[in-house]
Chains A and B, each alone.
Chain A
């Protein structure tokens, strides 16, 4: 705790110069909050002052209290979430525990994580106008206001569009426009990147940055995806864990410490790569910005480390399980899959990547037999797929949906796992045997009689995977298995899957737009763009290919930038990075 105090004062020293001009806008003083339904407090003795015009990142793993902190600032606590407040929180001079949410919402505008839930209007214009409608602003005054804020976020040409035709990124822009109607001084973004694919995430970070500069607002970003947020400059980072502030400093200082790993936050990949090369950060300038970082001192160690690496032999693929040949599919007249071909072998881990709407979900649906190709053939273990029913395919390929709640039916884990077996009318002895085997495989056996409601997200995910594995499919398809999860839960889910793959030879297809996932846990990537399959190759090769990255609207990983800056070959650099990380993980798990 002492060091923490020192860091705060260190920051105050830096901020002191600015502090002469800036006035505080959010002031926590010895603030403690406990939810009514919980025994322990979620926030402990928070002391924090945020100044007008600052851009602050509030960083921390899930359950660290960062969302609770956000809800205290925007007034949802105590308006919607009841609990006990101690100490003081002033937002724009208003003591929040005595104020109504409406009063606070005049000063704080919030963009929430769930882009669908916060879009309540039936058109873009209507949703932007929602706050104005509630204030009974006459329509005549409303129209120019809506137009103005729509222009700020670049949605002015979409005012009549209904939400069903918008992407997640566009919905988020609309949400942002809805809180830019002049009065709010503070803009609060609660996990703005959670629902977006990487390219959209970059656009969002960029937009937030532009609005911070142009509109002179105070911006607070709550996130755990550090590297993505640091795509644009942030004045200050507050690291939270276990309901307390662990660090209050600049991004540079944070990156030079070891605090990230300690608190379950993923390090930016380039920082990991630099550390791998044995580099210690002494000077902490521009660590948060790869483009401006001075590389002179780092170049040699990185190249040396790369030279010392020996590429691991790529294992021979197992038997051929699935063969997709020249498959076409169109919804009405819009082509979604255009001449797609690829193969899947036993034991492979494949990332199916591409931006939303590129055709990857359609491909997954087709592999499950829900939709059938209009042209081309699919062969599964030598059988013509067209002759198989959905149920028969279900025993060869299992599909795990993104949201576990969409799959969970029963109240008890064991019943959920046996559901598919019962639906397939297996006899009781076989059902028992399979259920036990699957539960053990998934590490759920000791919890088999637990109610599903008592489980965490990651555990629920595991139950849904078990419920699919009970049918012993050769391949499982996972749709965004880690969406919205912090690094800790991400690691938990992915390590579980890695274990299934390595120990039980389960072939796994990941539908994802998470580049980290592809780098860390898959061998091959199949890339979709505009309904075509534009690449099918080793992950390190795909990710180092600038042309593919651009065509698929993916985000260039910082490893490529780093490699280019030190003059290394990006492909071998990524390959070496992946191999090294995996080796460490393998050692770590033993």
Chain B
């Protein structure tokens, strides 16, 4: 119970529209959206994607406090980053958007142009759309569905298994980590960073890591044997218990992601064969 709360990904499937889609649909949809956002700088694509991302995120009823906190944190980071970009290149909009309409001037070098602001806005929304799609994806998929979804996009099932087995043992390893830390504390290790020097903290970590590594990898043989005994790796293919059959909703979303892939190809072709003079479209240019 506590563990499921602590992990950002959910182990137990939810029951909203997105949750109920199959792993295959979720993974393919996610990949399509992310690639589309990576290849485009056009707000006519980015903004609708952002709207979709927000709707998606709200629809899965996530832990509000957690998600808002995250979004706040990421927004601040981004704004700070953009500020740094402005400090380094105050007129970056000129190259990318193709004009330089000064709105405000601090000094010879430090100007605020409409194009730079537009570029920053596009960049910010592009980032936020990607970010929100990511957290929607993580919050609506279980590790098992993810394994099945990865397998559906032709990733070898052994790699997909790595993902699900890793999630299976993350709680065990966190517990061991906590236990070992505690036992070292009881033997006299001072963990309060205020009372120790950096060098000592580094040394302490050696003392905690050695048993943790040994205990963690001690498991490997037993787990592998348990899998071999149940026929893991004997076939070229595999099926997934957690991967339900296509529902009508999956079929609808299939149309959506297929269209998205077409859009991705169109954008890429457009950018290769008809490169505009400038990277970013702006309504006034």
Q: Which residues of A are interface residues toward B (Cβ below 8 A)?
A: 74-76, 79-80, 100-102, 105, 109-110, 112, 114, 116-123, 125-126, 129-140, 142-143, 146, 160, 162-165, 178-179, 331-332, 365, 368-370, 390-391, 393-395, 398-399, 401, 403, 405-409, 419-421, 423-424, 467-468, 471
Contact = CB atoms under 8 A, between A and B. Distances in A.
B215 interface: yes
Contacts of A131: 230-231
Nearest to A165: B1
A162 B4 contact: yes
Nearest to B224: A80
B225 interface: yes
Nearest to B245: A139
Interface residues on B, range: 35 or more
Interface string B188-211: 111000000000000000010011
Contact of B187 (A109, A143, A471): A471
A393 B186 contact: yes
Contact of B239 (A110, A136, A370, A409): A136
Contacts of A122: 11, 142-144, 164, 167-168, 242
A363 B2 CA distance: 19
A134 B230 contact: yes
B207 A419 contact: yes
Contacts of B186: 368-370, 390-391, 393-394, 398-399
B44 interface: no
Contacts of B11: 122-123, 162, 164
Interface in B151-207: 164-165, 167-168, 171-172, 176, 179-180, 182-190, 207
30 contacts: A76-B228, A100-B234, A110-B229, A112-B222, A114-B226, A116-B219, A118-B222, A122-B11, A133-B238, A135-B234, A135-B235, A139-B241, A139-B243, A142-B241, A160-B12, A162-B4, A163-B168, A365-B182, A369-B186, A391-B189, A393-B186, A394-B185, A395-B188, A401-B179, A403-B215, A405-B211, A408-B211, A409-B210, A420-B188, A468-B187
Contacts of B229: 74-76, 101, 105, 109-110, 112
Given A135-B234, A139-B240, A370-B185, 17 more contacts: A105-B230, A105-B231, A112-B222, A116-B172, A122-B11, A122-B164, A125-B241, A131-B230, A134-B230, A140-B245, A142-B239, A143-B241, A164-B11, A365-B182, A408-B211, A419-B207, A423-B187
A456 to B, nearest CB: 16
Contacts of A409: 207, 210-211
A136 B237 CA distance: 6
A390 B211 contact: no
Contacts of A369: 186
B231 A135 contact: yes
Give the one of A112, A126, A162 with max B CB within 10 A: A162
Nearest to B234: A102
Nearest to B222: A117
Contacts of A331: 2
A346 B58 CA distance: 61
Nearest to B185: A390
B235 A407 contact: no
A409 B205 CA distance: 11
A129 B230 CA distance: 10
Interface in B29-69: none
B244 interface: yes
Contacts of A365: 182
Nearest to A160: B12
A468 B186 CA distance: 9
A123 B207 CA distance: 34
B108 interface: no
B187 A419 contact: yes
B232 interface: yes
Given A102-B231, A405-B211, A133 B241 contact: yes
B183 to A, nearest CB: 6
A337 B179 CA distance: 20
Nearest to B170: A164
B180 to A, nearest CB: 5
Contact of A126 (B224, B234, B241): B241
Contact of A406 (B165, B215, B235, B238): B215
B214 interface: yes
B242 A123 contact: yes
Contacts of B187: 394, 419-420, 423, 467-468, 471
A129 B242 CA distance: 9
A136 B225 CA distance: 20
Contacts of B207: 409, 419
B72 interface: no
B266 interface: no
Contacts of A395: 188
A162 B12 contact: yes
Contacts of B210: 409
Contacts of B214: 405, 408
Contacts of A135: 231, 234-235
Nearest to B178: A370
Nearest to A331: B2
A423 B2 contact: no
Contacts of A420: 187-188
B226 A112 contact: yes
B183 A120 contact: no
Contacts of B233: 134
Contacts of A421: 188
A139 B224 CA distance: 24
Nearest to A75: B229
Contacts of A130: 227, 230, 232
Task: With a 10 A CB-CB cut-off, give which of B188, B225, B229, B235 has the most chain A CB atoms.
Answer: B229
B28 to A, nearest CB: 18
B3 interface: yes
A575 B231 CA distance: 52
Contacts of A419: 187, 207
Contact of B225 (A76, A123, A142, A401): A76
Contact of A423 (B188, B221, B231, B245): B188
Contacts of A160: 12-13
A179 B182 contact: no
Give the interface centre of B13, B232, B240 by most chain A CB atoms within 10 Å: B232
B12 A137 contact: no
B218 interface: yes
B1 to A, nearest CB: 7
Contacts of A118: 222-223, 226
Nearest to A403: B215
A132 B230 CA distance: 8
Nearest to A401: B183
Contacts of B228: 76, 79-80, 101, 105
A467 to B, nearest CB: 7
| Chain A CB within 10 A, most for which of B4, B187, B223, B237 | B187
A102 B229 CA distance: 7
B238 A134 contact: yes
A120 B225 CA distance: 11
A134 B232 contact: yes
B151 to A, nearest CB: 11
B188 A424 contact: yes
B128 to A, nearest CB: 31
B180 A406 contact: yes
Given A123-B144, A407-B183, A139 B239 contact: yes
User: Which of B11, B188, B211, B237 is most buried by chain A, counting CB atoms within 10 A of its CB?
Assistant: B188
Contact of B2 (A112, A138, A332): A332
Nearest to A128: B241
A368 B188 contact: no
Contacts of B188: 391, 394-395, 420-421, 423-424, 471
